[in-house]
Amino acid sequence: MNLQQLKDTAAAMVAPGRGILAMDESHPTCNKRFEKLGIPTTEEKRQEYRHMLLKENEMGQFIGGAILFDETIRQQTLDGQPFAERLQQIGIVPGIKVDQGAKELALHPGEKVTEGLDGLRDRLKEYYELGARFAKWRAVITIGPDIPSQACLVANAHALARYAALCQETDIVPIVEPEVLMDGSHTIERSYEVTHAIQKCVFEHLKEQGVAWEGMVLKPNMVVSGYDCAERADVQQVAEATVRCLRATVPLEVPGIAFLSGGQTDEEATSHLNAMNQLGQNLPWALTFSYGRALQQAAMQAWNGDSANIDRAARVILHRARMNGAAAKGRYSTEMEQAA
Ligand code: 13P
């Protein structure tokens, strides 16, 4: 393990005013989003789409790292350049999703555990050769009347820690993603309780496996009310609860925390991040974004599967990247949306 290299990679991923573009949707997820818009679910269309996302050179000013899916890291842009090389060219660190999805947790109806540890050491070595310098593994925690169970928290935290140790051994920075889903009618207090529990459990397991704090990035959910909660917490409440939770669980040495968007609207996700960075709490870690949907959805609609729309759609995602880059510095305002 080369700790200096891990630190340098992590620093580049969450550099001031930059965040991470999650463009690592698996085939089923990507196809589902294409189908909704009537876009053909072919390899060629996925390639064209991802070419569009990285078309603007300026993306590198706001994006420090981009997470690719296995298919994409082996593909080329429409100009014939490998995607990992395209990312390096515009100053973005290439990353790779390495988990193999959340599966039913045995004996625990309604709960999931993420798989993918078997053979991971060899897969990481290959991805390193292909240019990846960081990886992602997502665990999924569902809130319900009697869940999550301790069994679910421990199984997922253990897998995340094993994954993170394997990454660091290969000089790949692990993004550790324990996602508490926003589905349900739970309150923000319940969201806090579960988010706190999983984060605490994850850091205990990371410590046990010897993972170096300086060479990892945490990708958490924000502490929000469930989608169907009767009284949803406002932006300020979300910002305060989220930062309070992180202060209670995340070691000071972790260089960066990059949030998932989890189904928030584009402007909600940007406003929440901005509010956290405006709290003026002199936080020890960079607080930034690692959004999938909240960066991509407007651009996907603008593209709509038509190559004639590539240039316009590329400017749409550049705009969202710029807004979130501003939020990562606490300098976003909704007027900036109108100005564009
Ligand atoms: P969302 O921002 O769409 O939640 O996706 C982020 C991600 O990478 C989930 O693993």
Which atom of ligand 1 sits closest to the CA of residue 67?
A: 8
- CA-based radius of gyration for the chain: 19
By C-alpha distance, which of 142, 81, 88, 84 is closest to 112?
Answer: 142
User: Which whole number is the average pLDDT over 266-290?
Assistant: 96
Residue with the two structure tokens 């072919």 = 42
Q: Which atom of ligand 1 is nearest to the CA of 22?
A: 8
Residue with token string 């930062």: 243
Model confidence band, residue 51 (pLDDT cutoffs 50, 70, 90) = very high
Number of domains in the chain: 1
Cα–Cα–Cα angle for 211, 117, 196, rounded to 5 degrees: 50
Query: pLDDT at residue 340 above 80?
Result: no
Q: What is the pLDDT of residues 3-48, one digit of tens each?
A: 999 999 999 999 999 999 999 999 999 999 999 999 999 999 999 9
pLDDT tier at 259, thresholds 50, 70, 90: very high
Q: Is the pLDDT of residue 98 over 90?
A: yes
| Ligand 1, atom 8: closest residue by C-alpha | 22
Establish whether residue 292 lines the binding site of ligand 1, counting it when its CB lies within 6 angstroms of any ligand atom: yes
**What pLDDT, on a 0 to 100 scale, did the predictor assign at position 117?**
98
What does the pLDDT read at residue 281? 83
DSSP code at position 181: P
What pTM was estimated for this model as a whole? 0.98
Tell me, what's the pLDDT at 339?
Answer: 76
Q: What are phi and psi of 204, to 5 degrees?
A: -65, -45
Residue 338 has pLDDT above 90, yes or no: no
- One-letter amino acid of 226: G
Residue 102 Cβ contacting ligand 1 at under 6 Å: no
What is the distance of C-alpha 81 from the center of its chain? 25
User: How sure is the predictor about 135, in pLDDT bands with cuts at 50, 70 and 90?
Assistant: very high
- Which of 131, 238, 219, 212 lies closest to 175, judged by CA? 219
Range of the domain at 330: 3-339
* Nearest of 79, 83, 55 to residue 314 by alpha carbon: 55
Q: Give 291 Cα–ligand 1 centroid separation in angstroms.
A: 5
Q: Which atom of ligand 1 is nearest to the CA of 296?
A: 3
Distance (angstroms) between ligand 1 centre and the Cα of 247 equals 22
Give per-residue pLDDT as tens, 201-227. Answer: 999 999 999 999 999 999 999 999 999
The finding on whether 192 has its CB within 6 A of some atom of ligand 1 is no
Provide the CATH number for the domain around residue 81. Answer: 3.20.20.70
Q: Considering the chain, what is the average pLDDT of its residues?
A: 98
What mean pLDDT is predicted for residues 237-250? 98
Q: CA–CA separation, 194 vs 176, rounded Å?
A: 17
**Span from the CA of 208 to the centroid of ligand 1 (angstroms):** 27
Q: Kindly report the three-state secondary structure assignment for every residue of 130-148.
A: CCCCEEEEEEEECCCCCCC
148 lines ligand 1 (CB under 6 A): no
Q: What is the mean pLDDT of residues 255-273?
A: 98
Residue located nearest, by CA, to atom 5 of ligand 1: 292
Q: How far apart are CA 243 and CA 287, in angstroms?
A: 9
* Pocket test residue of 291, 296, 317, 320 for ligand 1, highest count of atoms within 8 A of CB: 291
Report the distance separating Cα 274 and Cα 260, nearest Å.
Answer: 14
| Position in ligand 1 atom list of the atom nearest CA 293 | 3
The confidence score (pLDDT) of residue 270 equals 98
Percent of residues, the chain, with pLDDT higher than 90: 99
Q: Is residue 177 lining ligand 1, measured as CB closer than 6 Å?
A: yes
CA atoms within 13 A on the CB side of 211: 33
Q: What is the pLDDT of residue 320?
A: 98
Q: Which pLDDT belongs to residue 280?
A: 85
Q: Which residue in this structure is represented by tokens 């798989």?
A: 115
Give residues with Cβ within 8 angstroms of 271, minimum separation 6: 235, 327, 332, 334
Among 24, 33, 222, 261, say which to mutate for ligand 1: greatest number of ligand atoms within 8 Å of CB: 261
